[in-house]
Amino acid sequence: MNKGVLKRLYRYIAGNKKYLYFVIISAVLANIFMLAAPYISGRAIDFIRGEGDVNFSMVIKISSVLLGVYVLNALFTWGMTVFTNHLSNRTIERMRSDAFKRLSRLPLSYFDNHSHGDIISRLTNDTDAVSDGLLQGITQLFAGLVTVVGSLAVMFSLDYKIALCVVAVTVLCVFVSRFIAVNSGKMFRMQAAVTGELNGYVSEIVGNMKVVKAFGYEERSGEAFGKINSRLYDCGQKAQFYSSLVNPTTRYINNLAYIGVGVLGGLAAIAGGLSVGIISSFLIYATQFARPINDMTSILTQLQSATAAAARIFALTDERPETDDSSRPELKLDGGEVVFDGVNFSYDKNRELIKNLNITAKKGQRVAIVGPTGAGKTTIVNLLMNFYGADKGAIIVDGQDIDSVTRDSLRKSFGMVLQDTWLFSGTVRENIAYGKADATDAEIEAAARAAEAHGFIKRLPQGYDTMITEDGGNLSSGQKQLLTIARAMLTDPEVLILDEATSNVDTMTERRIQRAFLKMMEGRTSFIIAHRLSTIREADLILVMDNGAIVEQGTHDELLAKNGFYAKLYNS
Amino acid sequence: MKRLFPFLKPYRLQLTIGPFFKLSEAVLEILIPTFMAMLIDNGVNVGDRSYVIKMGIFMLIVATCGVIFALICQYSASIASQGFGTDVRRAMFKKIGTLSFSQIDKFGTPSLINRITGDVNQLQGAVAMLIRLVIRAPFLCVGGLVMAMSIDLKLSIIFMIVIPLFVLVLFLVMFKAVPLYKSVQTKLDRLTLVLRENLSGVRVIRAFAGTGRERRRFDDKNDEYARVAIRVGRIAALTNPLTTIIMNLAAIAVIYFGGLRVYSGNLTQGEVIAFINYITQILNAMIVLANLVVLYTKAYASALRVSEVLAEEPDIKYGDKEFNEQSNAAVEFRNVSLTYGGSGAPAIENINLTVHRGETLGIIGGTGSGKTTLVSLIPRFYDATEGEVLLGGVNIKEISESELRKNVAIVQQRANLFSGTIADNLRMAKADASEGEMRSAADTAQASEFVNRLGKGFDTHVSQSGNNLSGGQKQRLTIARALMKNSPILILDDSASALDYATDASLRRAIKENTESKTVIIVSQRVNSVKNSDRIVVMDDGVIVGVGTHSELIKTCGIYREICVSQEQYGGDGDE
């Protein structure tokens, strides 16, 4: 277990100091009362000696003390659980919140290079592991410590010989449970890995069933599945068996202690040193003493997985954020002239992509970015929006270096409509007003009209108040595109970044989108990832990209005259 | 449910042995406190040392037998439960392979995956518990009660009060907590939703400077989640103290009333101790029972979900006739309509169309016009709800499955590749295909160039669903894979949408050259992709609105003209 991680975890937990103290105090008290009870009940039994020989006044006196002890034990046990629960949930809430806060300041490259599933897992599964493992584990560890020390002390004070016998048996128990835990842990890890493999295989095959069928691949895939499945059986069976050994063997060892105490205690009682009531108490302490020790291995594994989970969360919280730009001035737009001045850029230091790029897009000009699929046209978008920073050179908007102004002000002044239409779950209205939270209904409707989206929105069940499900599942891809256009229109940006690709959209909607785009571009400096010849032909500047780099630039006629890559593309 | 019992059959031996030995262990365990009482009363209180030692050894033997019995049971349980699970998974996987697509759509792929792993896991657990606990726990309960009653019937009246109270507490806590657990799950789902939206929409959020707002949204959901989780925890926290206190109150009652019984000579001191032991035993067994009830309610839901898959009868049956390669009509649709399950309006309606042998047929139309539906009838991904489809003059339902697969090759819009090497993917159609065959298919599909550029050529590894390749590369590989089958009928369902115009054009040219004698059906939204076909079918809203060559349709078909105009006016046809 990593010390640094534990220290940081403690800082999170200690943020709720009041609850932490409550937890500790309740845990200690609950266990002290639990320990006291068998001793007291043993004393009571000692006053019940036989026919006609029962001291009722003492039995009643001791019983009422016992009642009080039991009630207090229950009360503190309850308190301990409630406080732990509160503490753990609030602690991981803050861990999640901090991780998310950091996430919102990380550079785009982080999101492009990390699996989203993994990030989500850190903020959900891992935080749960911390809450389950660490905090429950700590209370158990703490309660266990009190129980072990306490019952050991009581047993030794009652009879050290019998106590030694109990300790010996318990040590045996530790070895056995350690052996089981190591073996079953290994098998469980293997089982989890094979289950993951099986999951992946099933999802691949079932998800692509049409292909499987079309190629008559069922039998071969059945064989492959069978192989994974029988491996899962092998480790699953072993994991199940090993883990199910814990209860019977612990029971057995407890029985050994129980019998040992009975026999030794009995012999001692005959010799005259021990009362039967004390034997009875001893029997109970023997079991209580063994329990936390039996649980020790599982608590340790829990703690280990909790710290591992915490380390993953902290790794996210420690990612280097974008530089702080709050002291920079805001971008002041004046027409929207964009200049790339000797820009070098690459995602991967070993593979040079853009070298000494010089572009001047004057106020109101259109720049078309063209190239085959996968040529890296979005790289220009990444640079313009300062999602990624240039390695060398500068990008200058209306005389201001984009690295000298706040990122938010830069991004807000650009209107961006990408092919990947992102909408969040909320109403249509909220989605359109995403860039301008204080927009009036009239403004929203005007933007929707301009984007030719008003018509279909009105036909939705609740019009502008229709809820959009996650990822806009209840809208067609064309409708989603129109909404993102309306969203960009509402902010009235001076510079536009558009992606013309509208795959899977029917021709009527495509025309509508195209009209909306044209309307938007009027009088604004625009960068267009172009797919249409008309857009390309009319562009003031064409950037031709291939394999991630800009290979040619110029106007349509210039590029044709050059008879290079563009001409080949155009004439194909 | 009935469908699952046969899976238990091979494990009859384990299912009998397991509970039998577990029961034997429980009997021994119940006896130990009684032996201890005997040890105290007949040995300690009488002062008989040899009796104490004899009894101790006897108890040692009993306990050792107990643990051996238990191990036999646990072993049987692990064999039976895991074997059962493995068999069920195998049967489910096999069954899913026989289902039609409308049936798979009905379940949904994620749900099927959950059923085959998560639900079967639940059932495995249930079978193990069936062997390990279902007989043991009630037995410990009843057995403990019987033993206590045999010690002192009158003192057992305490149980009549304690047990109902105990059950009531467990029931109330579960009743309160279970619905709340569901709402915890819902809150967690909402939190995850916000998180997922933030990850997938990070560019847009930053573009609109929305990070502050997103943070507030996340913190809200985060707080809601914590609140509900704390509320559930508060209720669940009652279980342990409440059950313990009931147990302990019963113990106090036993001490007091037991004292009375000892005084009147009906009970011994050792028996009082044994009695307290039985109370603990019974109430502990009841907690196990309560957990079993929860486990089995969950398992029951899983059992239903698993049975549902196993009970699904494949609704596509194949005939045994052969495909007639010489027939003039390669594919024929007669009055065909198809309505997908659950939706009211037909996806395609009253289609009459003959595709001739050796013909290249283009199908064009907007999204949702029914193009894909129409061609998916040919490999029988779906069956027509009305009318009939003929393949080489034979009703498609009478053709054997292997004939159908052999003669129809289809490339779908979504490029599906499997994890493995590129060669593994190409060999799906033909396990023993030579490198030369793969090379020529890749040539035709315009894939050779980029395959060669990849470090290991055909041995390059493809990650799950082909994520390490670009959309266009994947599409070209799926086309090559289909070409490997060398089927007389080849269907390209919008399978070049991610290709640029130049590659698309050379692809079409190559296919034309290499498939002279084949019937090729090209589905597309681009006029360019279909305009050189022998004939073009224009679809709109599920019906055919025009059939003919490009120049005929330009004159006669309004919708076709509109498509052409829209694509030409706004550019897009690099072929000119």
- Pick the range with the lowest mean pLDDT from A234-248, B265-279, B492-506, B550-564: B492-506
B571 pLDDT higher than 60: no
Do A47 and A111 have their domain in common?
A: yes
In Å, how far is B432's CA from the nearest CA of chain A? 13
CA distances from A395 to A389, A525, A527 (A): 9, 15, 14
What percent of chain B lies above the pLDDT cut of 90?
A: 22
What pTM value is reported for the model?
0.70
Range of the domain at A479: 338-571
The verdict on B528 touching A (C-beta cutoff 8 Å) is no
pLDDT of B65 reads 94
Q: What is the mean pLDDT of residues B288-302?
A: 80
Retrieve residue A334's tokens: 């004046």
Any domain includes A95: yes
Considering only the beta carbons, identify the residue of B25, B47, B238 that sits closest to A270.
B47
In chain B, the residue whose alpha carbon lies closest to the alpha carbon of A76 is B241
Strand partners, A370: A544
Do A377 and A497 have their domain in common?
A: yes
pLDDT of A503 reads 52
Is residue A440 helix, strand or coil? coil
Retrieve residue B514's tokens: 């290499």
Q: How many CB pairs under 8 A join A and B?
A: 428
In this structure, the number of other CB atoms found within 10 A of the CB of residue B576 comes to 7
Q: Which of A417-431, B78-92, B229-243, B514-528 has the highest mean pLDDT?
A: B78-92
pLDDT tens digit sequence for A38-49: 888 888 888 888
In Å, how far is A416's CA from the nearest CA of chain B? 7
In B365-506, where do the E strands start and end? 386-391, 394-395, 408-411, 420-421, 461-462, 489-493
A213 to B573: CB separation less than 8 angstroms, yes or no: no
Which phi and psi angles does B3 have, rounded to 5°?
-65, -20
Do A432 and A477 have their domain in common?
A: yes
Strand partners, B364: B524, B538
Retrieve residue A101's tokens: 């806060």
Retrieve residue A305's tokens: 């997985």
In this structure, the number of other CB atoms found within 10 A of the CB of residue B486 comes to 16
pLDDT tens digit sequence for A116-136: 778 888 888 888 888 887 767
Binding-face residues of B in 145-204 toward A, CB within 8 A: 188, 191-193, 195-204
In chain B, the residue whose alpha carbon lies closest to the alpha carbon of A268 is B44
Q: What is the mean pLDDT of residues B265-279?
A: 84
Do A52 and A139 have their domain in common?
A: yes
pLDDT of A1 reads 55
In Å, how far is A270's CA from the nearest CA of chain B? 5
Angle at the Cα of A377 from the Cα atoms of A516 and B206, rounded to 5 degrees = 70
Amino acid at A510: E
Confidence of residue A470 (pLDDT cuts 50, 70, 90): low
Interface probe for B, chosen from A237, A322, A546 (most Cβ of B below 10 Å), is: A237
Any domain includes A115: yes
Is residue B3 helix, strand or coil? coil
Sequence-distant (6+) residues with CB within 8 A of B193 are: A425, A470
Which CATH number belongs to the domain containing residue A62 in this structure?
Answer: 1.20.1560.10
- A185 vs A264, residue with greater confidence: A264
Confidence of residue B564 (pLDDT cuts 50, 70, 90): confident
Q: What is the mean pLDDT of residues A229-243?
A: 90
Contacts of A534 in chain B (CB under 8 A): 569-571
CB B359 within 8 A of CB B342: no
CA-wise closest residue to A207 among B55, B451, B101, B401: B101
Any domain includes A193: no
Mean pLDDT (chain A, rounded): 84
B472 to A571: CB separation less than 8 angstroms, yes or no: no
Confidence of residue A99 (pLDDT cuts 50, 70, 90): very high
A422 to B204: CB separation less than 8 angstroms, yes or no: yes
B44 to A276: CB separation less than 8 angstroms, yes or no: yes
CB A331 within 8 A of CB A410: yes
CB A411 within 8 A of CB A365: no
Q: How many domains does chain A have?
A: 2
pLDDT of A571 reads 66
Confidence of residue B82 (pLDDT cuts 50, 70, 90): very high
Amino acid at B261: R
DSSP B465: G
pLDDT tens digit sequence for B140-167: 888 888 888 988 888 888 888 888 988 8
Do A17 and A120 have their domain in common?
A: yes
- B512 vs B500, residue with greater confidence: B512
A50 to B29: CB separation less than 8 angstroms, yes or no: no
What percent of chain B lies above the pLDDT cut of 70?
A: 96
Q: Which domains does chain B have, with CATH numbers?
A: 1-150+292-315 (1.20.1560.10), 329-569 (3.40.50.300)
Query: Which H helix or E strand runs over A396?
Result: strand A392-397
pLDDT of B537 reads 94
pLDDT of B61 reads 94
d(CA B509, CA B493): 17
Binding-face residues of B in 201-240 toward A, CB within 8 A: 201-204, 206-211, 213-215, 218-219, 222-223, 225-226, 229-230, 233-234, 236-238, 240
Strand partners, B520: B360, B490
Any domain includes A307: yes
d(CA A311, CA A303): 12
Any domain includes A126: yes
Q: What is the mean pLDDT of residues B549-561?
A: 88
CB A229 within 8 A of CB B136: no
A251 to B29: CB separation less than 8 angstroms, yes or no: yes
In chain A, the residue whose alpha carbon lies closest to the alpha carbon of B265 is A51
In Å, how far is A2's CA from the nearest CA of chain B? 27
A156 pLDDT higher than 50: yes
In Å, how far is A267's CA from the nearest CA of chain B? 6
In chain B, the residue whose alpha carbon lies closest to the alpha carbon of A417 is B204
Which phi and psi angles does A140 have, rounded to 5°?
-65, -40
**Domain termination residue (choose one: A317, A347, A380):** A317
What string of H, E and C letters represents the secondary structure of B499-560?
Answer: CCHHHHHHHHHHHHHHCCCCEEEEEECCHHHHCCCCEEEEEECCEEEEEECHHHHHHHCHHH
CB B92 within 8 A of CB A206: no
Amino acid at A558: E
Do A397 and A474 have their domain in common?
A: yes
d(CA B476, CA B380): 24
In this structure, the number of other CB atoms found within 10 A of the CB of residue A479 comes to 22
Retrieve residue A43's tokens: 């004393």
Contacts of A407 in chain B (CB under 8 A): 206
A120 to B132: CB separation less than 8 angstroms, yes or no: no
- A340 vs B34, residue with greater confidence: A340
B202 to A203: CB separation less than 8 angstroms, yes or no: no
B573 pLDDT higher than 60: no
pLDDT tens digit sequence for B219-246: 999 999 999 989 988 888 888 888 888 8
d(CA B561, CA B276): 92
Considering only the beta carbons, identify the residue of A44, A252, A470 that sits closest to B63.
A252
Contacts of B83 in chain A (CB under 8 A): 233, 237
Any domain includes A166: no
- Pick the range with the lowest mean pLDDT from A475-479, B427-431, B476-480, B534-538: A475-479
Residue for token pair 């929203």 = A444
Contacts of B43 in chain A (CB under 8 A): 266, 270
B265 to A51: CB separation less than 8 angstroms, yes or no: yes
B273 to A280: CB separation less than 8 angstroms, yes or no: yes
Strand partners, A498: A417, A528
In this structure, the number of other CB atoms found within 10 A of the CB of residue B467 comes to 10
Confidence of residue B3 (pLDDT cuts 50, 70, 90): confident
Considering only the beta carbons, identify the residue of B63, B79, B215 that sits closest to A256.
B63
d(CA A513, CA A521): 12
d(CA B40, CA B46): 8
- B325 vs B566, residue with greater confidence: B325
pLDDT of A473 reads 60
Interface probe for A, chosen from B570, B573, B575, B576 (most Cβ of A below 10 Å), is: B570
Do A307 and A411 have their domain in common?
A: no
pLDDT of B574 reads 36
A185 pLDDT higher than 90: no
pLDDT of B570 reads 37
pLDDT of B569 reads 38
- Pick the range with the lowest mean pLDDT from B68-82, B96-110, B245-259, B262-276: B96-110
pLDDT of B538 reads 93
Do A311 and A344 have their domain in common?
A: no
pLDDT tens digit sequence for A385-425: 888 889 999 999 999 999 999 988 888 888 888 777 788 88
Any domain includes A360: yes
A169 pLDDT higher than 60: yes
DSSP A325: -
Mean pLDDT (chain B, rounded): 85
Do A360 and A488 have their domain in common?
A: yes
Do A560 and A515 have their domain in common?
A: yes
Do A282 and A383 have their domain in common?
A: no
For the stretch A302-334, what's the b/e string if a residue is b when 16 or more beta carbons lie within 10 angstroms of its beta carbon? bbebbbbbbbbbbebbeeeeeeebeebeebebe
Considering only the beta carbons, identify the residue of B66, B200, B473 that sits closest to A422.
B200
Any domain includes A312: yes
Half-sphere exposure of A561 (CA within 13 A, CB side): 6
pLDDT tens digit sequence for A274-314: 787 788 788 778 777 777 776 776 777 778 788 888 988 99
Do A554 and A474 have their domain in common?
A: yes
- Pick the range with the lowest mean pLDDT from A345-354, A547-556, B429-438: A345-354
Which CATH number belongs to the domain containing residue A386 in this structure?
Answer: 3.40.50.300
